[in-house]
Amino acid sequence: MHRKFDVLIVGAGPAGASTAICLGNSGLKVAVIEKAVFPREKICGDGLTLDVVNQLGIISEELAASFRNFSAKLPCYRAEIFSPDCKRISVAVRPQEEQKPMYTCRRSDFDNFLFQQLKQFENVSVFENCHPQKLIVNEDKVVLETGEDTFEGSIIVGADGVNSFVARELGVKHITREQQCVALRTYYKGLKPLREGSLIEMYLPGEILPGYLWIFHLGDGTSNVGIGMPATVINCKGINLKTCFEGLLMAEPLKSRLEGAERIEAVKGLIIPFGGLRRDISGYRFLLTGDAAALVDPITGEGVGNAIRSGRVAAGHIINSFKVNDFSGAFNKAYDNEIYRRMMPEFKFHLKLRSLLNHPSLLNYIVGSAADHPGIERSLQHLIWNLRVNKFGPRVMLVFRLMYMFTLQRLFVSVFNRKRKRA
Ligand SMILES: Cc1cc2nc3c(=O)[nH]c(=O)nc-3n(C[C@H](O)[C@H](O)[C@H](O)COP(=O)(O)OP(=O)(O)OC[C@H]3O[C@@H](n4cnc5c(N)ncnc54)[C@H](O)[C@@H]3O)c2cc1C
């Protein structure tokens, strides 16, 4: 069947669904083409940060209210962080009572929540179990062929995740190894949070830095246990991530932590596409959003917030394109510029910060000092909070610079000592 629309969106994850929601009631005829059937599984850590909550509120008060009533999520007020030498600090993820918490939620539930919102818009048609096979961009239209149907539109949005079909078909350069993080996750039952309201545990074993291991506790009584590590580090250290993951789960402190708990799902993995390197994420009659555009935080691996943000920006740009009837590559560059203007400073800053995580002794020092001195713990909480809400005020920058100088000084001392030994 030949179907005519104004906008084609491939993928109905957070990026695709939010693009479509923002185009709801725009007067444009929108098709969302999704290969899975919702609710569908999504390999993830299942953490929904404050950024996600804020993005939903920016889209509309109705969406924020629906999310407030959405019962599958669990509010998280604290995180437990374990240093390489197994010292632990408990950090508030919202230092003040009036601030919103973050949440944990199975991605199959959260993505289905967003997906169901599409049903309220008469101008949005959803096609599940639909497998794109061929994409042709003509002078005056985009044509997407699936097994049974042919979709036609003026512009196409690639919201189809890290292995984007749209990006591949349109010859967009694949992300480099430097931008890839390999991540694995599994689920356990029978694990309880270490303290009430503290649903996040982050472990920083020296051998996987700047990667980390996590336990996120979910509302259904299960816990998401996973590991993420930059592909370059895996390569450089010659690590088999699955073996390494299983080894770390059998060693302290995880061994005692998981005692009595039962693994209920197989280990599954996926590439996380880190942001931080600029590349073309649009062209003639197309835009890429979310993971297809590589917009994940290079420290924490959070991508849902930016997927929704990019969907919002894409929808705004598309409405402008129709107003001036311009779908050219040159016009679409405004989309790239807007995405990178909003996100690149944070990516660059977090990439710098990530280099600090390469030093186990520094992390031992910071976590150890914070564990022993409540004042340092409070400062650290403020630093983490400010990073989370992207407020790089002068105090945060000062702490960051001091930490950076401290690392450089330690590096200098270790190089100096090595040279002295050699001499
Ligand atoms: C192990 C792991 C842990 C993570 N943990 C977190 C976390 O805790 N918090 C966080 O914020 N982020 C996390 N992320 C990152 C986050 O999952 C992604 O950044 C986010 O899902 C991006 O959303 P998206 O809509 O761009 O892509 P996706 O969520 O991948 O959605 C893409 C959609 O497109 C569909 N699709 C794919 N190909 C096609 C095709 N050819 N045709 C039609 N449809 C197609 C898929 O079925 C899917 O529904 C994690 C990632 C991994 C791998």
**Which atom of ligand 1 lies closest to the CA of 290?**
26
Residue 312 belongs to what domain range?
Answer: 2-73+101-175+276-350
CA-proximal residue: ligand 1, atom 38 (nearest): 160
Work out how many domains the chain is built from and give that number: 3
Q: Is 48 within a domain?
A: yes
Ligand 1 atom 30 nearest Cα: 161
Alpha-carbon distances, residue 331 vs 15, 141, 325, 386, 397 (angstroms): 21, 16, 10, 35, 36
Check whether residue 260 and residue 284 sit in a common domain.
Answer: no
Taking the CA of residue 295 as reference, the ligand 1 atom at the shortest distance is 19
pLDDT of residue 399: 65
Instruction: With respect to residue 116, please indicate whether it lies within any of the assigned structural domains.
Output: yes
Query: Which residue reads 């107003």 in tokens?
Result: 323
245 lines ligand 1 (CB under 6 A): no
Distance between CA 344 and CA 354 in Å, rounded?
15
Residues 208 and 333 in one domain: no
Give the C-alpha distances (Å, rounded to integers) separating 382 from 93, 210, 305, 377, 396.
9, 22, 21, 9, 8
Please state the three-class secondary structure of the chain as a single string: CEEECCEEEECCCHHHHHHHHHHCCCCCCEEEECCCCCCCCCCCCCEECHHHHHHHHHHCHHHHHHHHHCCCCEEECEEEEECCCCCEEEEECCCCCCCCCEEECCHHHHHHHHHHHHHHCCCEEEECCCCEEEEEECCCCEEEEECCCEEEECEEEECCCCCCHHHHHCCCCCCCHHHEEEEEEEEEECCCCCCCCEEEEEECCHHHCCCEEEEEECCCCEEEEEEEEEHHHHHHHCCCHHHHHHHHHCCCCHHHHCCCCEECCCCEEEEEEECCCCCCCEECCEEECHHHHCCECCCCCCCHHHHHHHHHHHHHHHHHHHHHCCCCHHHHHHHHHHHHHHHHHHHHHHHHHHHHCCCHHHHHHHHHHHHHCHHHHHHHHHHHHHHHCCCCCHHHHHHHHHHHHHHHHHHHHHHHHHHHHHC
Mark whether 257 and 199 lie in a shared domain: yes
Atom 41 (ligand 1) nearest CA: 165
- Tokens read off for 164: 């984007």
Stated pTM of the model: 0.91
Q: How far is the CA of 274 from the centre of ligand 1 (A)?
A: 13
Pocket test for ligand 1, best of 40, 114, 160 (most atoms within 8 A of CB): 160
Which residue among 156, 271, 302 is best mutated to probe the pocket of ligand 1, counting the most ligand atoms within 8 A of its Cβ? Answer: 302
pLDDT of residue 422: 45
Amino acid at 177: R
Query: From residue 400, how far is each of 62, 151, 191, 356, 394 by CA, in Å?
Result: 38, 50, 35, 10, 10
**pLDDT score of 82:** 94
Q: Is 189:221 a contact under the CB 8 Å cutoff?
A: yes
- The domain boundary, picked from 303, 333, 350, lies at 350
Say whether both 156 and 218 belong to one domain. Answer: no
Confirm if 381 and 92 have CB atoms less than 8 A apart: yes
Of 243, 273, 303, the domain-final residue: 273
| Ligand 1 and 44: CB distance under 6 A | yes
- Does residue 153 line the site of ligand 1, with CB under 6 A? no
Decide whether any atom of ligand 1 lies within 6 Å of the 298 Cβ: no
Q: What per-residue confidence (pLDDT) applies to 303?
A: 97
51 lines ligand 1 (CB under 6 A): no
**Does residue 88 lie within any of the structural domains?**
no
Question: Hey, whose CA ends up nearest to atom 16 of ligand 1?
Answer: 303
Confidence (pLDDT) at 38: 98
Q: Last residue of a domain, which of 245, 273, 301?
A: 273
What is the predicted pLDDT for the residue at 358?
84
Q: Which atom of ligand 1 is nearest to the CA of 36?
A: 47
Report in angstroms the alpha-carbon separations of 394 from 285, 354, 380, 386.
42, 20, 15, 11
Q: 323 and 369: one domain? A: no
Cα 230 to ligand 1 centre (Å):
17
The answer on 111 and 27 residing in a single domain is: yes
User: Hey, whose CA ends up nearest to atom 15 of ligand 1?
Assistant: 303
Do residue 225 and residue 257 come from a single domain?
A: yes
CA triple 108-338-173, angle to 5 deg: 70
Instruction: Show the tokens assigned to 37.
Output: 């059937």
Ligand 1 pocket, 297 CB below 6 A? no
Residues 19, 121 contacting (CB under 8 angstroms): no
Q: Indicate if ligand 1 lies below 6 Å from the C-beta of 275.
A: no
The verdict on residue 380 lying in a domain is: yes
Residue 162 CA: which ligand 1 atom is closest? Answer: 30
> b/e string for 321-353 if b means 16 or more Cβ within 10 A?
bbeeeebeeebbeebbeebbeebeebbebbbeb
Geometric angle at alpha carbon 394, from 393 and 399, rounded to 5°: 105
Same domain? For 14 and 69 the reply is: yes
CATH number of the CATH domain containing 189: 3.30.9.100
* Ligand 1 nearest atom to the CA of residue 165, by list position: 41
Do both 282 and 269 map to the same domain? no
* Residues 216 and 231 grouped into a single domain: yes
Per-residue pLDDT of the chain (423 residues; tens, 9 = 90+): 999 999 999 999 999 999 999 999 999 999 999 999 999 999 999 999 989 999 999 999 999 999 999 999 999 999 999 999 999 988 888 756 667 889 999 999 999 999 999 999 999 999 999 999 999 999 999 999 998 899 999 999 999 999 999 999 999 988 999 999 999 999 999 999 999 999 999 999 999 999 999 999 999 999 999 999 999 999 999 999 999 999 999 999 999 999 999 999 999 999 999 999 999 999 999 999 999 999 999 998 999 999 999 999 999 999 999 999 999 999 999 999 999 999 999 899 888 888 888 888 888 888 888 777 766 666 666 666 666 555 555 666 666 666 656 655 555 555 555 544 444
CA distance 313 to 15: 10
Residue 79 domain-assigned (yes or no): no
Residue 87 lies inside a defined structural domain of this protein? no
**Distance, CA 329 to ligand 1 centroid (Å)?**
26
CB of 132 shorter than 6 A to ligand 1: yes
Domain CATH number, residue 155:
3.50.50.60
* Structural domain contains residue 130: yes
Q: Give a yes or no: residue 85 inside a domain.
A: no
Claim to verify: residue 39 and residue 167 sit in the same structural domain: yes
Written as six digits, the tokens of 361 are 């002794």
Q: Could you tell me which of 189, 188, 274 has the C-alpha nearest to residue 230?
A: 274
User: Does residue 280 sit in the same domain as residue 295?
Assistant: yes
